[in-house]
Amino acid sequence: MRCLIFVFCAYRLSVCNAQLAEVKEALNNSLHTGLTEKIGNFSIELLYHTTQAQEKGTNLIISPITVWTILAVIAEGAADQTLTQLAKTLRIQPRLKDITRKDYQEIAKWLQVNTTTVELQKLNSLFMDEDNGPQRDFIEAAKGYDTHLIPVNFSNPDVTANSINNLVSSVTHGRISHLLDSSNIINSKLILTSVLYFKGQWTVAFNSSYTRKQPFYDSTGKQLGEVNMMYRRHTYPFANIKNLQARVLEIPYGKDNRLSMLIMLPNPGVSLNEMFYNFGNESLDTIFNELKVSVDEYSDDEIDCFIPRFKIESSLELTDALKRMGIMDLFDERKARLPLMSFFPVHVSRIIHKAEIEVTEEGTVASAASAAEFSNRIGVIRFEANRPFCYLIIEKVTNTIAFGGFYHTPSLF
């Protein structure tokens, strides 16, 4: 039997009325379970292998947390080598599943935001054949990852495809209205979907009257094309991180500083691939600590920030990237062991991930031990993202990478 698993993410920007006291206290006592660091390490590895699997120069958007969540749910139904490989890649211990689910629930509650300036919503669903349902233990375990189980009739592919597409469309406010065709349903018995929707306004918006057409270069200084470059002078958190060989700028969303975008710009002459390889030896905690030093020591220093307007849409087949990360048996019809997910043998035929992002003057729309150097902080600092860079959308209480990607190839958006 085939089992198609679709992982989907969409990202988008909007406005927020948050309970500021609770959020400020949470940020002051940021949630750092062992799981947050493990998910962070998984996210960085997934971003690296996904971009390596793409054609050189391809712009990318992905939601690592949605992929981690779906695989964690699958691990609850797995056994033997299939479970061993999933557990190693996800950085979890099969004998401590109860603790993992509990820690995940602490993280998940911060991935729900609905205010006047920021909206972040998620939905995980398992569509299962009415005649081939998972075992009760698996159903209960899936609930620990906020995964809703929805019985459907796989013998009617058109109806099932419409049900899934309608659910995804409603969560993404119509931005992704068509995730799969009825042909994807044939021979399927289980379909998992994970949807993440983000809409956020910058805390301090860019002024569109300052947006200008500017050249965009590669890491060697060769011009690749042009972008519509936005500009804003503000006291942004900024760090020059030596071990990363990059400058990092944080641009906050909303009124309560719960979510922000990190722009990681390689130093001149350093490729984006080299910088991101260095990132694999760092942690988000380290980067945020350096940015905090920046705020504490240089809170009055202004940054001249130049970043391009951009829009990226990605429709990704993640199977190869996950195989490179060590998940092999899950995709093998003869070796996959998912006894708690189905009464009959099933395997994962492919994992599809769809995402999009728009970055404009108003905000972002999408439908997922180093030393800081401050010796150059005299007067206004110029941060100009006019060459390939990495961007991450971070939920700051948990340091969760909601969305991440790379901007390689310029376009006039």
Domain of 391, CATH number, reads: 2.30.39.10
Q: Are residues 254 and 385 in the same domain?
A: yes
Please give the single-letter amino acid code of residue 314: S
Q: Which amino acid is at 162?
A: N
Does residue 176 share a domain with residue 125?
yes
**Residue 16 belongs to domain with CATH number:** 3.30.497.10
Between CA 191 and CA 235 the distance in angstroms is 46
Q: Are residues 89 and 167 in the same domain?
A: yes
Within this chain, do residues 190 and 273 fall inside the same structural domain, yes or no? no
Considering the entire predicted model, what is its pTM? 0.86
Domain range holding 378?
A: 208-308+368-407
Token pair in block for residue 17: 């009325």
Specify whether 103 is located in the same domain as 24. Answer: yes
Q: What is the pLDDT of residue 367?
A: 44
Which residue, among 405, 358, 401, 395, has the nearest Cα to 12 in the 3D structure?
358
Residues 236 and 334 in one domain: no
Looking at the structure, do residues 245 and 164 belong to the same domain, yes or no?
no
Instruction: Tell me if 382 is assigned to some domain.
Output: yes
How many other C-beta atoms can be found within 10 angstroms of the C-beta atom of residue 212? 12
Q: Looking at residue 295, what is its pLDDT?
A: 77
Within a domain: residue 180? yes
Give which of 13, 119, 23, 110 is closest to 395, Cα–Cα: 110
SS3 of residue 202 by DSSP? strand
CA distance 37 to 15: 29
Rounded (5°) CA angle 85-86-91? 100
DSSP annotation of 182: G
CB atoms under 10 Å from CB of 240, counted, come to 20
Q: Are residues 105 and 162 in the same domain?
A: yes
Are 14 and 147 members of one domain? yes
Q: Judge if 220 and 325 occupy the same domain.
A: no
Does residue 412 fall inside a structural domain? no
Instruction: Indicate whether 332 and 292 sit together in one domain.
Output: no
pLDDT tens digits in sequence order for the chain, 413 residues long = 444 444 455 544 333 333 444 444 544 445 556 898 899 989 999 999 999 888 889 999 999 998 999 899 999 999 999 999 999 999 999 999 999 999 999 998 898 888 888 888 787 888 877 776 677 888 888 889 988 888 888 888 888 888 888 888 887 778 777 777 788 777 777 777 777 888 889 999 998 889 999 999 999 999 999 999 999 999 999 998 988 999 999 999 988 788 999 999 999 999 999 998 888 787 777 888 888 887 777 767 889 999 999 999 888 888 899 999 999 999 888 898 988 887 778 888 778 788 888 899 887 644 432 222 223 334 578 999 999 999 999 998 888 999 999 999 999 88
Q: Examine the domain organization and report whether 298 and 375 are in the same domain.
A: yes
C-beta atoms surrounding 117 within 10 Å: 23
Residue 363 lies in a domain: no
In a domain, 413, yes or no: no
Domain count, the chain: 2
